[in-house]
Structure formats: C-alpha cells, structure tokens
Chain A
Amino acid sequence: MSGQDNTALLEVRELKKFFPVRGGLLQRVVTQVRAVDGVSFKIDKGLTLGLVGESGCGKSTLGRAILRLHEPTSGQILIDGQDIVGLPRSRMGEQRRRMQIIFQDPFASLSPRRTVAQIIREPLDVHGIGTAQERERRVIELLADVGMGAEIRDRYPHEFSGGQRQRIGIARALALEPDFIVADEPVSALDVSVQSQVLNLIAELKKKRGIAFLFISHDLAVIQHVSDEIGVMYLGQIVEHATVGDLYSAPKHPYTQALMSAIPVPDPTARRTRIVLEGDVPSPMNPPAGCLFHTRCPQAQDRCRTTVPAMLNVGSETNPHRVACHLQD
C-alpha cells in the first residue's frame, strides 16, 4: 500500500449504493437497502485488492458500482485522479475501455448464439478498434493468451466446460487491454481441479501485463493466491483492510478471525478450536446500531452496541493495517 502518492490507478472515496425498497399502495420508497455503505480504498497500478465477504455483504454491488453498472448513490470513483461518477455517457465510454469485468457464472455471461470469435471480438467492434483483419488476428492472440487454440474460434459456448468458458470470458475482458479488471467470483462456479488452473492464469496475466484487479470472492483461501491486499466486507462496509501477509498472519477484526476459522481444513489430524458464529447476518435494510457485527461478535462489549467504531490504523504509516473495531482501541 503506497498510500502517500495520489497517483493511484483507482481510488474509491466514501462510495455508497442504496437500493430503494418500494411498498404500500402507492409504491412509495419505504426503506432502503444499504448495499454499499461508505467504502473507501485505493488500488495502485498492477496490484490486486481482494475483497472478501459472505453473500449479501455488498461486494458484488461494489464491484459493479465502480464500473457504474450500478449508478452509485454517492461518493467518488477516481481513475488516475479523475472522478467518473456523473461523467456523461459519451465520456464514460473511453474510461470503460480501461475497465473490464469477469463474471461468476461462465454459463450465463457468454451469449449462446455467438461463436467464440464473435464473443471475444465484440469489445473491439463496439469501440471500433483496428480493421476487420486486425481484429481477427487479435482474437487468435487473445485465445493463445488464455491457453486456448485458434481452432475453437468458430465453436459455440455450450461446447465448452465451465473452466474453458471462463477462459473465453477472460479473453474477452483482455481484448481492450484494460488497466483494471473487476473479477467477480470468477472461480466459484468451477470444480477445484479447474479452479486452480484459472487462478494461475489470472496470477500470470497480472504479472505479465501489469493489470490491476479487484478480485471479489467469498473464499479467503482462493483470494490469498491472487491478492496483494485484502479488504474484508461486512454489511456494506469494509471492516478490515491490510496486506495479504498481515491479514493472514494476524487478522485483527473478530469477523475476519471467524471467517478464517470457519474454513474447513483438509487435514483430519488438525483439530483446532473453531469460532462458530451465532445467528445470521442482519438485514442491510435495517442494520444494527453501533458496530454492525456486534449481534454476532463473540467479544462484543457494551460500547459495541451503541457506538460505531472508527477505522483505525494498527499498522505503520508505510504499511497500514486498518480495522474498524473497538477492541483495537
């Protein structure tokens, strides 16, 4: 985390995304789902921020809001210092070229009626890049980049397995040579033996091309391999943010600790004490007062129920480790 310079590739400041909930006879807005509730972070060029949290914590909404696939409710999204929130459609186009997304479900994210070549070429067509011949050549290059041969160019998505489809989705995301990719649970629909193949590919692309990633996952074990920093989300907020080394060796937030201890360990001789959380995640329509986690926290105290904990830096100036927890006071 080089927090001192302000040339971060992407900087998100106090981003919020609320979804209105309508009800009653007149379909008026009765309440709001606070899906993303004041999130801030930076991603430097070529680095990966892993975003981890359970279903409904707002991690996918955050990923989409950054690309303005969901229009943010408030906050700033700076790309090389320029705020893209509120940018008109015409100017947004050029920014979009630099930002791409890989989706979770490789079965739903590729059009079944288009050939592999058409799918990968689409971004080039949309942005009018190169001649028809150049685009064709580019498609072959992109296929090679994701470890697939040119012979599949005229086949359709249904002919491929989940892992192969995800490679095609990655090739499409690479077509415009983006600086930044949001990867939203890219391996969670895949079998374990294929999962590692795709993770290795992403790690390689990151290293060779210097692409920055926001890597969204519910799985702390998956995210470790590809991330430089990790942000842990709970109910729309980041509760802990540190480098991979610090987060895994010394998690500070009780939620991060519980998440880590909940992962089943493939070693029957390892008998460890597990922190089993009680209850369920509260509704983001009606988040609890004080610390959002206090209803499930095994260490909650009185002040946790009333006062919102501030984000504290428990690391150093140059190597920050931020955590929002009263116990760190």
Chain B
Amino acid sequence: MAEDKKPPLLSVQNLIIEFATENGVVRATDNISFDIFANETVGIVGESGCGKTVTGLSILGLIPSPPGRIVGGSITFMGRELVGLPEEEMRKIRGCHISMIFQEPMTALNPVFSIGNQMTDVLIRHHGLTRRQARDSAIEMLAKVGIPAPAKRIDEYPHQLSGGMRQRVMIAMALSCDPKLLIADEPTTALDVTTQAQVLEQISKLQAEFHMAVVLITHDLGVVAETCRRAIVMYCGRIVENASIEHLFASPRHPYAKGLLDSIPQIRSQRLEELPIIPGRVPDLLQLPPGCRFADRCPRADGLCSEQIPKLAPSGTHADRVACHHPYPAVQAGSAS
C-alpha cells in the first residue's frame, strides 16, 4: 500500500462517543482509531449495535446531541480538526467535501419536493450556481448515476421512483458537489439483490470517476468483499480488526472476524449438516465485561482475555491491525493472493 507514506485524508484517533439513555450512559464507540486515504474504499463492518453507524455520523458532525456526545478523541479531515468545529463551518464541509448516503432513501428524501428541487437546492446554496445552471448540472448527475430519461425524471417526486432509483438519486445528490469522501451507510440493505448489484456497481464506477474515498458501512461481508480494498471490523463499540480485504478473507486473525466470515449465508455446492455459528450473543452495552468484549463467545479466550482489554496493534503485515490476545496466525505476505 503506497498510501501509507502520504498523510491520510481522514484520521480518526481514540474517538469515544457516549449516549445518555434511561438506564445509564452507553459508550457507542470506545477508543476507535483508523485512517482513510484518498481514493480508497474502506468497509466498516459489524452487526447491529456495534457502533458503525455512529462512527459514520460522527465524521459529519451529525451525532444527535443530546443524547449523544463526543467525549474524547479527534477526527481530522485534510489536516483539519472536525471535533468541536462550529456548525457553520461543519456545514461547509458537509456540503463540499464529505457527503453521506443513507440506508432508507425514502426517509432521506423530502416527499413534497421534486427530485430536481432537492438537487438544485444543494448546488445553488453551496456552489452559487444559477437556477438554470443548477438544473442542467442536476440532469447531468442523474444521467451519470444511470437514471434513464433524466430530463423527465428530474421533475418527478420521490414516491414515483422505485427503491433503487431513489438510492441513485441520493447518490447523485451526494456527488453533485464533488466530495473527497463519501460515507455510505448500508446503501443497499433496503434493496433487492438484483438492484443491490446495480447500485454497488454504480458506486464503484463513480468512486473511480470522481477520485473520492468511500467509507462503506455495512453488515454484509459479501458486499465488502466485492467493493472494498480494506475492512474495519467492529464489535461492541471497538475495532477488532483492520486489514486488507485479501488478508481478512483469506485468514482473519480476530476470532470474531473469523466467526462472522464463517456464518455468512452462502450458496454451497454441498449442503452442510449444520451452519457454522457464533455461540451466545452480543453483551449488553450497559454491562460490558472488563476484558475483551468477545471473550465469552470466543473459542480461544483464556483468563487474560476476561481481565484485560486487548489493544489494536500491528498484525504481521505493515498495514493490518488486530485487537486480540490470541489471534489466529497471520498469513505470509504475498501468499494470500
């Protein structure tokens, strides 16, 4: 990875986000650190409640506060600290440099305004285009994301479009100001598989065309394998592994990452007697164990694991990291591919 030498586009360091709930304070992310470099696609993977969505929202300064609060750590984007930035400044960054698309395009689009109305709004506000210019530019964007008859579609309302089309409109809006970083939070989860394939293909194509970095937040490791270069695996608010796709899928080092990979439903040539599972379930965020959060579900755990939280440390190859006292052996460099 040549990007290692260059400064990262986005750097998250020791980020701690807490939410006040009725039953106490929940730590949604606990000391997470990672870098995103220009032009790369990185997946943040994990199951519900692991903190992946909160991580994405925090980058855009969109943590609902209260109840949420960034308690510690920093988020630097192109050398600029985003934590604590005034809303006015943050809005400029959101409009021009970092964009986000969400899981449910119907709730993210305003039902009472036409597609064109919503798209040109951004362009007029952030880029100072005239109404005419903004409309032309919006039509061009719609064509780029693969919407047929864009000049006609631009005057339609969100309910007139299918789920896949709506997600394309969201992507078109997100890209209309040429962002350096796109955060996509479960962009295809609400879509059917055939539509998912279309949308993922579109995101990959646009990523190359726009020279942007993409952070893809998803629970689906299949999606990650097909679109990302690197993946960050989260469990219970912590990063357990951060590795290149080749290494992660060939030989995951963290037992949770391995368990997750094994339990993905997939079409098999020979049906198994029993599907591989991860026993037990995710601990309650209000009653976390003192040591490794995966310890009581882990086949490799011992006394050390239930006492001491493992640190995210370099794992064999230069760029990979794993947080485990007893990781699976690393794959030899080069032998993965």
Contacts and interface: CB of A to CB of B under 8 A. Distances in A.
Given A192-B260, A224-B271, A266 B225 contact: yes
A163 B225 contact: no
Contacts of A281: 162, 192
Contacts of B225: 264-268
Given A196-B277, A200-B275, A266-B225, A225 B193 contact: no
Nearest to A265: B222
Nearest to B297: A193
Is the interface on chain A under 10, 10 to 19, 20 to 34, or 35 or more residues? 35 or more
Nearest to A203: B274
A310 interface: no
A106 to B, nearest CB: 13
Contact of A264 (B48, B220, B250, B277): B220
A280 B245 contact: no
Interface string A184-199: 0000000111111101
B192 to A, nearest CB: 4
A225 B265 contact: yes
B193 A54 contact: yes
A221 B266 contact: yes
A24 B281 CA distance: 53
Given A200-B277, A222-B265, A225-B272, A193 B192 contact: no
B165 interface: yes
Nearest to A245: B271
A68 to B, nearest CB: 28
A202 to B, nearest CB: 11
B208 interface: no
B325 to A, nearest CB: 21
Interface stretch (A8-16, A25-33, A115-123, A254-262): A254-262
Contact of A192 (B164, B196, B264, B269): B264
Nearest to A163: B281
Contacts, number: 122
A120 B265 CA distance: 29
B150 to A, nearest CB: 15
A166 to B, nearest CB: 12
Nearest to B202: A276
> Looking at B263, B265, B337, which has the most chain A CB atoms within 10 Å of its CB?
B265
A224 B219 CA distance: 21
A263 B275 contact: no
Contacts of A192: 47, 219, 221, 260, 263-265
Main secondary structure of the interface of A (DSSP, over half): helix
Interface in B113-157: 148
Given A191-B48, A193-B47, A193-B260, A218 B267 contact: no
B223 interface: yes
Interface in B208-267: 219-226, 245-246, 249-250, 259-261, 263-267
Interface in A220-244: 220-222, 224-225, 244
A157 to B, nearest CB: 16
Interface size class of B (residues with CB under 8 A): 35 or more
Contacts of A218: 192-193
Contacts of B192: 54-55, 218, 281
A269 B269 CA distance: 18
Interface in B192-206: 192-198, 200-201
A173 to B, nearest CB: 21
A263 B193 contact: yes
Contact of A262 (B48, B162, B194, B259): B194
B318 interface: no
Nearest to B165: A280
Contacts of A267: 225, 249
Contacts of B148: 279
Contacts of A261: 197
B278 interface: yes
A107 to B, nearest CB: 12
Nearest to B50: A191
Contact of B267 (A191, A263, A276, A280): A263
Contacts of A280: 162, 164-165, 195
Nearest to A274: B197
Contacts of B337: 269
A161 B164 contact: no
Contact of B275 (A164, A225, A266): A225
B14 to A, nearest CB: 27
A193 B261 CA distance: 9
Contacts of A274: 197, 201
A79 B201 CA distance: 46
A200 B278 contact: no
A219 interface: yes
Contact of A193 (B194, B226, B278): B278
B287 to A, nearest CB: 13
A127 to B, nearest CB: 33
B276 interface: yes
Contact of B193 (A194, A249, A262): A262
A221 B198 contact: no
Given A163-B281, A269-B246, A224 B193 contact: no
B55 to A, nearest CB: 17
B265 A219 contact: yes
Between A218, A220, A221, A274, the greatest number of chain B beta carbons within 10 A of the residue's beta carbon is seen for A221
19 contacts: A54-B194, A193-B259, A196-B265, A200-B274, A224-B267, A224-B268, A225-B265, A225-B272, A249-B269, A262-B194, A264-B226, A265-B222, A266-B222, A269-B246, A269-B249, A269-B250, A276-B194, A276-B198, A281-B192
Interface of B: 47-48, 148, 162-165, 192-198, 200-201, 219-226, 245-246, 249-250, 259-261, 263-269, 271-272, 274-278, 281-282, 337
